[in-house]
Chain A
C-alpha cells in the first residue's frame, strides 16, 4: 500500500479545487469568469459566483433548472448529474470536492473529536430532507407559481456560496460597492457558514455527512457508480476494521455514505480493499510497478491539463479580450460631468422597447428617471419589478421608468411580460451592448440607477431595492 495515500488524495483534492477555480485573475479583477466553458458543470461543490470559478456548480444549476421546469426541462443538468453519478458517484465527494478538502483541513485542527455514533448515523439522512425541501420544493414552486428563480439552498444555506462567492467578491477592493447591498441575508448566511465551519472542526466532514444535497444526489448512484472502493470477497475476513476506522457514517464499504476516500485500504489487515474503475484497479494495497508507471503518466497528463487551464483561463480565453470596458469613464475625460457615477450626467441613449416604442433618455429631461437592469432568470430582479411599477403608478406624470433586460435571454421576455400587468416600458439589451455599457451594468444583477430631473446620477447600485428606498430616492431626485 502506498504510504503516502492520504497525501496523494489531498493533492488530488487540491488539484481539483485549482482546476475548478483556474480563473485566478478573477481575484485580481474582482470579476467572475464569463467564458463559454462555464456551461460545463464541475462535478464537485464549487460556487460559480466565485471570482476564480471556471465551471458551473451542479447544485446551483440543478436548482435553476428546477425553477424553470414549468417552461423548459433542464435536461442538460439532469444528464450531467447522471453522468457524474454513474462514472464517479460519491468518489467525487472524497477526491474532487473543494469543500470536502476545506472540511478535512478544518478537521485537522487538533481538538477533541466527536466520534460517529447512532445519532450521527440518523443525522446523515438530514441531507435528503434538505435536498427535497430547499433544492427541489422551493425552486419548483416559486418557478411554477411566480416565474421566479429562488434557489433555496444557495440563498439560505450554502456555505460555499458565502465563502467562495460572497466573501470572494467582497474581499476585492474593486467591489467595495458590494458592501452596500449587505443585510440580513448575508448576516444569516455568514453565521451559518461559521457554525458549519465550527462543526467541521469537531466532527469529521459535518457538512458532507449531514447537509450536502449534492452528496445526497450522488449517493443515489452508489450501487452503480463505476469508480469506487471495492472489497475482494475472497480476502475479506469480515473483521470490520474498514467500517470502524471510517469517519463517515457507513454501514459497509461502498454504501451510500461511503465517499471512497480509500482510508479503509490503509487499515484493512487483509489488504482486501482497492479503488477500482470497473475491473481496472486504480489504487491497491500492494504496490504494482505497472500501475505506478500508469499513475505517473496520468499525473503528468493531469499537470499538463492544469497548466493549460491556468494559461487558458487567465490569458488566452476570448472572454477576457471581449469584456467591454464601460464607455462612460472615457467620455468623462472629455466632458467631466458625463459618466455613470453619482454626480455625473448619464450619457444619452435610446433603446427600442418591447411594446414597439423607443425610449430616449434625452426626451426624459425634467423628469426623474429610474433605470432597472434585470433578467427573467434572476429571482430578486423579478421580485422587485412590482416596486418599480408601484413607483411609476404613484408618480406617472413626473417619472420615467425603464426596465432593461440582460442581453442573456433564457425565456421569452414578451411571453413573460404578457403574463404580468406591468405598465412600465421594458427593453432587452442587445448583445452588442447599449444601455449596459453606459450605466456600468455588469454580470451582477439586479442594478438600479436613478437620475434627477437634470439627468444627473444620484444612485447607481447593484442589489435589490425596497419600496421605501425607491420612494426616498424619488423624493431626493425630484428635489
Chain B
C-alpha cells in the first residue's frame, strides 16, 4: 500500500510539475512577446528539451517505482463492485410473490429513475437552447472564437454539472431503495430458482440491421459521388495547425 501511495504521489507530481512548467514557459513567452518581439518564437526545441529535462528525474523516479512494484508483485486491488440492482435481482429470484412493501419500494425506485432522467433532461434544455441559437456563434476572428468557446463552456458547464449531480443523487436514492427492497425480500418466503428466458426480439433486430446496412451503403456510395469522400482525403492529408492544437 505504501508503494501504491508513493506511486500516486509521484504521478500527480509529474503531471503538476509538467503543467506548471508548460504554463510558465508560455507566460514567459508572452512577456517576451510584449517586450517587442512579436515575430520571435515563444517556444523553441531547446526550451522544450530543457523543460523535459527538468521533469526527467521525477519521471524516472515514477518509472523506478513502477518497476519496483512490478518486481515486488505489488498490484492495485481490483475488487468487484457491489451493485444494488443485481443484489436485489438475485434475492428476488427466490421469491414467489413480492410483498406490498417491496412493491412500494419499486414504485419509489421508478420515481427516482424517471425523476433523475427528467432532471437530467431539464438541465440539458438550456444547453440545447444555447447551442441552437446562431447568435451565440457570431464572432469569426481568432479572439472572437476564443470568447465564443469560453462563453459556451461557461454556460454549459454549470448545467452539465447540475445534470450529473441530479442524476447521481437520484441513482443514490434509487440504490438505497433497492437495498431496502433487498432487505425486505430476505424476509419473504423463498422458492426454487426459476430461470427466465428473454423474449426474442431477433427478427426486429435483423430488420433494423438490414435497414441500417442499406442506409450506410447508400451513404457511402452517395459520398463517393458528391465529393465528401474526397473532402475526407483532403482534410486527412493536410495538417490544419490549429485543429491539432499547434496554434
**Cross-chain contact A170 with B247 (CB below 8 angstroms):** no
A69 to B, closest residue via Cβ: B228
Interface mask (B179-202 → A, CB under 8 Å = 1, otherwise 0): 000000000000001011110000
Q: B218 near A: Cβ within 8 Å?
A: yes
Q: Are B26 and A183 in contact (CB under 8 A)?
A: yes
In angstroms, Cα B243 to Cα A61, docked, is 12
Q: Which residues of A contact B209 (CB under 8 A)?
A: 86, 224, 226
Are A179 and B44 in contact, CB atoms less than 8 angstroms apart?
yes
Q: Name the distance in Å between A239's Cβ and chain B's nearest Cβ.
A: 7
- Give Cα A154 to B241, complex, Å: 11
> What does the 1/0 interface line of A41-67 toward B look like (CB < 8 Å)?
100000111000101110011001100
- Interface segment, one of A2-10, A328-336, A391-399, A468-476: A468-476
Interface residues of B, Cβ cutoff 8 Å to A: 1, 3-5, 7-8, 11-12, 15, 18-19, 22-23, 25-26, 29, 38-39, 41-45, 47-48, 66, 69-70, 74-83, 85-87, 89-90, 93, 120, 124, 127-128, 131-132, 134, 136-138, 140-142, 145, 149, 152, 156, 160, 163-165, 167-168, 171-172, 175, 193, 195-198, 205, 208-209, 212-213, 215-224, 226-247
A-side interface size class: 35 or more
Closest 4 CB pairs of A and B: A76-B223, A79-B219, A240-B86, A165-B244
Contacts of A36 in B (CB 8 A): 233
Q: Do A379 and B42 touch across chains, with their CB atoms under 8 A apart?
A: no
Q: Are A384 and B142 in contact (CB under 8 A)?
A: yes
Q: How far is the CA of A170 from the CA of B51 in the complex (A)?
A: 14
Q: Which residue among A36, A49, A202, A468 has the maximum number of chain B CB atoms within 10 Å of its CB?
A: A49
Minimum C-beta distance from B38 to chain A (A): 5
Given A68-B231, A195-B15, A244-B82, the answer on whether A183 and B247 have CB atoms closer than 8 Å is yes
Bound-state CA distance A165–B44 (Å) is 18
Whether A233 touches B156, Cβ cut-off 8 Å, given contacts A408-B238, A444-B241, is no
CB neighbors of B among A407-464 (8 A):
408, 410, 442-446, 459, 462-464
Closest residue on chain B to residue A183 by CB atoms = B247
CB-CB under 8 A from B66, the residues of chain A are: 109-110
Bits for A225-258, please: 1 = Cβ < 8 Å to B, else 0: 0100000011001111101110000010000000
CA A244 to CA B78, docked complex, whole Å: 10
Complex contact A79–B222 (CB within 8 A)? yes
**A56-B232, A464-B247 given; 7 more Cβ-contact pairs under 8 Å:** A49-B244, A53-B236, A72-B228, A111-B4, A182-B43, A380-B243, A463-B247
